[in-house]
Structure formats: structure tokens, C-alpha cells
Amino acid sequence: MNEGDIITSDQLRNEWTNTLSTYDLFINGGHKLRPVRFIVRYIIEKGYDRVLFPGTSMYSLLISIPIDNKVNFNKTLKINFDHLTETLKFKFIDRTTGQIGWEETCQATEGSDLLESFFADNKDFRLVTKNKTKVE
């Protein structure tokens, strides 16, 4: 999907299912991305897949907030796994300000905890993940 495309909750859920399948293919192809796949599964299990839009860039997971039921990449969290250091790197980019709003690194086993911490601390993500409703 492209930025500006209209997206429904069902389409969001399908996009997350497709993203999970993509990471399965990466892992089956020998890429060490299990910690990122775990985060994708966690998002689906928590129901965040109904309100957040997934994407991938190379092997990074991108998580954006749809605005007015449209794909929007203005506020995007990028997560990638460094298999040499066994760490997950999180970076929030706010295109409306042109700045990196937040960066953090954690051990591979702490990804879901750091994700929840980010959701709680970032006002835009907190709004949609707490209520699991779309931003209008």
C-alpha cells in the first residue's frame, strides 16, 4: 500500500499477517530475525494490528499510524535487529518535524517491553494503542 491509500481495520490486520509471513520467509532463508518476528506476533496478539500500519525496509520493521483511515508515514517507528550484538534498535522518526524523536536499544528478549514503553511514552502511539482506535 502507498501513503494516502484508504485502509480499513481488516486491511490493517491482513497487512500484519502478510508482514509476519514475510519475516517467516526471511528466517527460513537464513536471516537471523526471530526477535523482529516476535514483535510482529506480539503486536498481532495485543490487537495493535487493528490500528497500526506495518511495513518493511530491507529487514527492518516499520510501524506507522494511519490518519483519517489512510496510510500515513509521518510518524514511524523503525525496529531492526543487530545479530552481531543480539540487540534490537528502535528509532522513532517524526516527518512533521523532520527529527528523530526517540532512539533506544535493548536486548533481543526485551523488545516487547521496550515497545510497550514507547507506546506509553509517545502521545500519538499512546492514543491509538491504548484505546485501539484510529486517529481521526
Q: Residues 28-60: pLDDT tens digits?
A: 999 999 999 999 999 999 999 999 999 999 899
Reduced 3-state DSSP string for the chain: CCCCCECCHHHHHHHHHHHHHHHHHHHHCCCCCHHHHHHHHHHHHHCHHHCCEEEEECCEEEEECCECCECCCCEEEEEEEECCCCEEEEEEEECCCCEEEEEEEEEHHHHHHHHHHHHHHCHHHHHHHHHCCCEC
Residue 131 above 80 pLDDT? no
Please indicate, yes or no, if residue 4 is contained in any of the structural domains: no
Please indicate, yes or no, if residue 74 is contained in any of the structural domains: yes
Q: Residues 60-99: pLDDT tens digits?
A: 999 999 999 999 999 999 999 999 999 999 999 999 888 8
Q: How many domains does the chain have?
A: 1
pTM: 0.93
Please indicate, yes or no, if residue 13 is contained in any of the structural domains: yes
CATH (domain of 80): 3.30.920
**Residue 42 sits in which domain range?**
9-131
Please indicate, yes or no, if residue 81 is contained in any of the structural domains: yes
